[in-house]
Structure 1
Amino acid sequence: MIKFRLLLWALALLMKKAAKKNPDFRQQLEGKDFAFQLQTADGALVRQYRVLNNTVRSKSKAHKSPAFTIAFRDAEVGLKVLTSKNPNAFMKAIQDKDVVISGDLSLVMWFQGISKYLKPSK
């Protein structure tokens, strides 16, 4: 559970850094104004991400009306899916019902698209 919590926090840091330093990532944020959240299915662990004014902010609590939510069966599944090197891990987890998505699917696709900018620097 702690590793998953740290991963969600680190994801926020990587997005903040990319928003400041990566013009391609900044372009993906252009004109966006919404919140989304990643969480465990039971809601015991949740982190919201707020995209506004070409920045990303984050809090470790649920947002009252996120544009989309990605809920992982549990923290272990979340950690496994989000750190997988397999590009199909996310889709397989959805098919296996280990991941449930609610809300705006076009923004979920946007989120998957920006993940390439969030690799930690070596």
Structure 2
Amino acid sequence: MLKFKFLLWAFTQLLKRQIKNNPDCTRYVESKNLVFQIRTVSGVGRYYVIRDGAIRSSAGLVANPQFTLSFKDAVKGFAILSAKDSQAAFLRGLGSKDLIISGDFQEVMWFQGLTAFLQPPKIVSPYDRTAF
């Protein structure tokens, strides 16, 4: 459970850094007003507020988020959120019902775009002809 809580807190810190240091990320969030939460079915979680080009979060849950990512438990949540193949892990979690998404799916898709800023840049090999 502690690893899951730490991951949710660290997520905010990583996004703050990206918003501060990456102009593309700054533009992505600058006009967004969004409240969402990531939680377990048992009620452990954190909510996030994106407003005025900044993100903040607090432990606990909020009454009316625009969307919620609910994990079966903290172990599944940590595994899915920290997976190297994050998009595939999300899809597997949805298929197995280890992850349930509720709320505004347009906002969920926007959020997926935001998480892309946390991915390490792809390094292109000079021998990779598909990159050209």
Please indicate the TM-score interval, normalised by the length of the shorter structure.
over 0.9
Higher Cα radius of gyration: 2
Deviates more, 1:51-60 or 1:61-70: 61-70
Greater length-normalized contact order (CA 8 Å, ≥ 6 residues apart): 1
Provide the C-alpha distance between the structure 2 equivalents of 1:78 and 1:102, rounded to a whole number of angstroms: 15
Aligned to 2:15: 15
Q: Cα offset for 1:41?
A: 1.0
Q: Is the 8 A contact 2:30 2:54 kept in 1?
A: no
**Residues 1-122 of structure 1 correspond to what in structure 2 (within 5 A)?**
1-43=1-43, 45-86=44-85, 87-119=87-119
Q: Is the 8 A contact 1:11 1:118 kept in 2?
A: no
Superposed CA deviations along residues 84-109 of structure 1, whole A, max 9, x for unmatched, are 11231101100111101110111111
Superposed CA deviations along residues 58-80 of structure 1, whole A, max 9, x for unmatched, are 00021121100000000000010
Provide the C-alpha distance between the structure 2 equivalents of 1:42 and 1:21, rounded to a whole number of angstroms: 36
Which secondary structure does the structure 2 equivalent of 1:88 belong to? helix
Which secondary structure does the structure 1 equivalent of 2:31 belong to? coil
Q: Cα RMSD over matched residues? A: 1.2
Amino acid at match of 2:25: F
Pairs aligned (count): 119
- Please, what TM-score do these two structures have when normalized by structure 2? 0.85
Amino acid at match of 2:52: N
Q: Which runs of 5+ in 2 are unaligned?
A: 121-132
Q: Cα offset for 1:119?
A: 4.3
Q: Which runs of 5+ in 1 are unaligned?
A: none
Q: Is the 8 A contact 1:46 1:60 kept in 2?
A: yes
Give the share of equivalent positions with the same residue, in percent. Answer: 40
Deviates more, 1:13-22 or 1:65-74: 13-22
